[in-house]
Structure 1
Amino acid sequence: MALVIAGERSGVGKTTVTLALLASLYQRGLQVQSFKVGPDYIDPMFHQHVTGRACRNLDTVLTSEAYVEQCFRYHAQLCESALIEGVMGLFDGVGERAQAEEGTKRIPLVSPSSYPPIPLSFGSTAHIARLLDLPVVLVIDCSRLSGSVAAIAHGYCSLDKRVKIAGVVLNRVGSDRHLSLLKDALEPLQLPILGVLRREDNITIPDRHLGLVPTAELPQLRAVIDRLAHLGNTCFDWERLLPLLQVSGKTPPLIPPLAKGREVRIAIARDRAFNFYYQDNLDLLQQLGAELVFWSPLEDAGLPEDVQGLYFGGGFPEVFAQQLAENANARNTVKTAILSGMPTIAECGGLMYLCEQIVDFEGKSWSMVGVLPTIAEMGGRLTLGYRRAVALQDSLVVRAGATVYGHEFHRSRLISTPNPPLFQSYRYDCEKSTGYEGWSLLPSLHASYIHQHWGESREIPQRFLESCCVFKFT
């Protein structure tokens, strides 16, 4: 079994509770596999920093229900304990329209007639808990609550009886008197209180325009994790929690091995500027025969030797734009490689790096690689959401007419539209177009703001590596 940590809404302390539990389990010498519901990249970095194991994303929108089940059961059975951090509020997901998308594997969950319809639960934490048949611990922000905590807990327990609430964690409790009022209110529900966290102003992880600051940029993170481990050791009812967290029995691997192709060396940009990668994507490249060579556009003078393909994930190139600009040798080497036909995938931050310039939040312009004839300009408007994108032309990894699913999350915009564009993009849950985007100026280049998880789209890494083999041996 495993445990799902859910919140009654965003910002209630799910990540704090999750990290405290993970840190305590790790200190106890237990191997623990963590998971994150949804498309987020940054929370999984913190999980991995604590556990030493790559966190896995469970996202039915980017992949499928079948893939989520396979991914969870395969990785959970490799450890003694498993813990899933939810996303937003317990029942926050995407709309009903997405569940019935024709021609996809996204099959609607049929609600028994005795249960009320939950139209926005697809892709939610509740959806994952139902799908995997796992108990949920509900984190409640009690900073402005006393007796009303019972109404919140009762509502979450009653809305969908298929979701099994194992207990609650009371976060941001102000005093012993406050705790007494909360306990008195919850007592009639007979709902176990599995943890109590007081207001801890000294445990903060800084954030900025796209959420938490990644682990690589936090020199004091070790001290924060130590404090979280102390909370984990002292603030939870471990007698009740441990049996819920322990993974019982072993199951055969449910993700079949892929037939390897010819081995190729792929340069993966990974440093403080570029670090948004789904571990499953990297695993798929390796299973298909790729040797992954990590390098830094911030620090390295050029590309690693004998590479046959480039992969630039997302990240924060705008934060490190000056340093990226100053590393002219790396920029020129990348430009030469791409113009010579080296197969290249660039997502979001990677796309920005391939532009002529990045204009940062202060209005300063910094030279980038210059392969894409446009400028990435930072702004206050956040572009956020799942996308359904229809390919308008062939590219390195998709064919014209193909539909891909992904996620956008950025505060930059390009000052010019690609001509012709790679995708017409739509909101995932309706027919509303979000416009044209994506660049494929060269047959060997795929650059887009859309982040993709390849779990249900294995033809993407396969096509990429096939192109890399051709580049190597022609």
Structure 2
Amino acid sequence: MKAVAISALSSGQGKTMFTMALLHWLKTNIGSVRPYKVGPDYIDPRFHEKITGVDSINLDLYMMTEDEVKSTFLYYAKGVENLVIEGVMGFYDGIDYGTSTYEVTKAVNVPTILVVSAEGSYATIVPTLKGMMEYKPNNTIQGVILNKLSSEKHFQTIKNQIKKELPQLNILGWIQKSLDTISSRHLGLDLTELNNEKLSELSESVMKNIDIPELLKFMEYKNEIEVRADYWLHEVDEIKQTCGNLTLTVVNDEAFSFIYPQNLHFFEKVFGKVHRISALNDEEIPSGTDIVYIPGGYVETPEVAPIVHKATRFKQSLQKFASNPDKKIYAECAGLMFLGEKIQTTDDKWIEGAGILPLNFEIQKIRHRLGYYKAVDKNNLNIYKGHAFHYSRPVPVNEDLSGIKWGLFKERDKKATAGAWTNENKNVLGTYLHSLFFNQPDLVLEYLTPSVLPPRV
């Protein structure tokens, strides 16, 4: 088995570009590959999945314990030849939450390559790398790839400086400056640009000056993790006792695509049946469904907003479903917005939502929330974990605030602000919080389980 983590000094150094190129090269030339992403990100994993054809798995030390991270890493590594972890931001960023690439790679004991932009520099790269390697003990930094270089001569100049001062650091190659990159959009990189031809060209250009034999040798991995691969599923048996006879329907398409693979796999283990439907195809909720889960995604972009607006059959079936107090709906972010009455789009138009919650949603030019949050349930004071990232702002249709169900807050906040809403029947919850469910049984039993359970067959 081979394994490597890709990190950097900061965002914008070329970490994602190199990760994409490496995933493509490994799949094309070596064999099976499993991508991972440090942190709660949904965007980079979608690139990983498009390149490799398999799920990219998030490793998050805020929403997961260290043993759950180790277990998840092993669980999804089974039967795979190459494991590639893409870090988040800079190598140590997130250390204040205990969620940095430094901490995740140390937990799973995977060697890290730093992708470092050396544009307009040479000798200064050495003390920068020295500081990164000495800042924290037992870090996993063992290799470097230099990005945005003008020539082989530029590379050799820096390489000689590094070899003299940091002989223990593997110098694995360099990347030419001014390569085409994938552009940025609303919440991240633009997936629409990633066709096979462009990906092949990008991969070839990025890998051109990488020392492939040394890279493969660098990636040799000896698993020393002493945690069961299925440990992350330790809540399954208990939850299945309640949910094993229930049917869950997941709305999952390009509009509602922000869903963790671990959540889907967990659902398949604890619920009796799991259906997937598409709002963009205007599909109805299957009969016999007990719970509907609508994940986050994009409903406000010009590509999908007109289609969502015209999804009449889906909206009507959702409205009918919500009117039955014995059913449950759980929706995150874009799912929450869809439950509202009207949604402003990013090109300043308005579309109709499902009208289940008395809220309209405006799109702001600045982020409303970003980062890890906790939710406090105002009725039972239960605390749930997750993250939020949104530009939209809810505007109540009336002055009745009784529909506010949760407050969201960061660890340092002095008060919580409204972050989840319910309907008059109290069987619908829409929230800005994105969560993992497999380690939050109270969240599943409270909001993804009907108050009246069907009889066991």
TM-score by length of 1: 0.86
**1:13 corresponds to:** 14
1:408 to 388, 393, 411: 388
Query: Hey, what does 1:389 align to over in structure 2?
Result: 375
Query: Contact conserved, 1:269 with 1:296, CA < 8 A, in 2?
Result: yes
Q: Cα deviation per residue 1:87-119 (whole Å; 9 max; x = unaligned)? A: 011001153xx5xxxxxxxxxxxxxxxxxxxxx
Give me the whole-angstrom Cα distance separating, in 1, the residues matched to 2:206 and 2:442. 42
Shift in Å, 1:68 = 0.7
2:3 counterpart residue number: 2
> Is 1:211–2:195 an aligned residue pair?
no
Distance 1:246 1:356 in 2: 54
CA distance in structure 1 between the aligned counterparts of 2:448 and 2:10, rounded to whole angstroms? 41
1:347–1:471 CA distance, 2 compared to 1 (3 A): farther
Of 244-253 and 285-294, more deviation after overlay is shown by 244-253
Please name the residue that 2:355 is paired with.
Answer: 370
Q: Which amino acid aligns with 2:384?
A: V
The residue aligned with 1:448 is: 431
Q: Residues 23 and 163 from structure 1, CA distance in 2 versus in 1: closer, same or farther, beyond 3 angstroms?
A: same
Q: Per the alignment, do residues 192 and 32 of structure 1 end up closer, same or farther by CA in structure 2, a change over 3 Å counting?
A: same
Residue 88 of structure 1: SS of its match in structure 2?
coil
2: CA distance, partners of 1:197 / 1:166: 18
| Cα separation, 2, equivalents of 1:233 and 1:39 | 28
Separation in 1, partners of 2:23, 2:355: 43
- Contact 2:279-2:314 within 8 A present in 1 as well: yes
Aligned mates of 2:264, 2:387 — CA distance in 1: 18
Question: What SS does the corresponding residue of 2:453 show, helix, strand or coil?
Answer: helix
> 1:299 aligned to 2:281?
yes
**Over the residues paired in the alignment, what is the CA RMSD in angstroms?**
2.4
Instruction: Give matches, 1:26-45, under 5 Å.
Output: 26-45=27-46
Number of equivalences: 438
Letter in 2 for 1:339: S
Q: 1:307 to 1:363 in 2, by over 3 A?
A: same
Q: 1:352 and 1:160, CA in 2 relative to 1: closer, same or farther beyond 3 A?
A: same
Other-structure match for 1:274 = 256
> Contact between 2:7 and 2:115, CA under 8 Å: does it hold in 1?
yes
Partner of 1:22: helix, strand, or coil? helix
Correspondence for 2:315: 331
Q: Whole-Å Cα distance in 2 between the matches of residues 446 and 471 of structure 1? A: 21
Change (3 A) 1:230 1:254: same
Displacement after TM superposition at 1:472 (Å): 8.7
CA contact (8 A) 2:357 2:422 kept: no
- SS of 1:345's partner is strand
CA distance in structure 2 between the aligned counterparts of 1:248 and 1:232, rounded to whole angstroms = 27
State how far apart, in whole Å, the 1-side matches of 2:203 and 2:446 are: 44
Q: How far apart in 1 are the matches of 2:152 and 2:229?
A: 48
Question: Within 5 A, what are the aligned runs for 1:72-91?
Answer: 72-91=73-92
Task: Give the partner amino acid of 1:162.
Answer: N
**Superposition map of 1:146-225 within 5 A:** 146-188=122-164, 189-190=166-167, 191-202=169-180, 204-213=181-190, 215=191, 217-218=192-193, 220-225=194-199
Q: Which residue of 1 aligns with 2:214?
A: 240
**Deviations 1:227-251, CA, capped at 9 Å, x for gaps:** 2432465332222222343455799
CA distance in 1, matches of 2:433, 2:291: 19
CA distance in 1, matches of 2:298, 2:132: 37
Letter in 1 for 2:179: D
* Letter of the structure 1 residue corresponding to residue 281 of structure 2: E
Contact 1:63 1:455 in 2 (8 A): no
Q: Is residue 298–residue 327 contact of structure 1 (8 Å, CA) maintained in 2?
A: yes
Q: Which residues in structure 2 correspond to 1:51-130 (within 5 Å)?
A: 51-93=52-94, 95=96, 122-130=98-106
Matched, 1:425 2:408: yes
Identity of aligned residues (%): 27
Q: 1:187 to 1:431 in 2, by over 3 A?
A: same
What is the one-letter code of the residue matched to 1:76?
A
Unaligned 5+ runs, structure 2: none
The alpha-carbon deviation at position 29 of structure 1 amounts to: 4.0
1:82 counterpart SS class: strand
Which of 341, 347, 351 lines up with 1:356 in the alignment? Answer: 341
Shift of 1:84: 0.8
1:236-286: CA deviation from partner (whole Å, max 9, x where unpaired)? 222222234345579963335733443433221122211000111111110
Structure 2 counterpart of 1:392, one-letter code: K
> SS at the partner of 1:346?
strand
Q: Secondary structure at the match of 1:89?
A: coil
Q: Deviations over 1:287-335 (max 9, x none)?
A: 1134332222122242334332211111110012222112222212211
Tell me the secondary structure at the aligned position of residue 34 of structure 2. strand
Which of 101, 105, 113 is equivalent to 1:137? 113
Pair 1:54–1:136, CA change in 2 (3 A): same
CA distance in 2 between partners of 1:421 and 1:465 (Å): 18
**Residues 238 and 432 (structure 1), Cα distance of their counterparts in 2 relative to 1, 3 Å cut:** farther
Q: Which 5+ residue runs of structure 1 have no aligned equivalent?
A: 99-121, 394-399
Superposed displacement of residue 431, structure 1: 3.5
Residues 223, 469 of structure 1: alpha-carbon distance in 2 compared, 3 angstrom cutoff: farther
Structure 1 counterpart of 2:409, which letter? Y
- The answer to whether the Cα contact below 8 Å between 1:31 and 1:81 also exists between their aligned partners in 2 is yes
**Deviation digits for residues 172-213 of structure 1 (CA, Å, limit 9, x no counterpart):** 1122332233223323222221131112433x2232121113
User: Which SS does the other structure have where 2:366 is aligned?
Assistant: strand
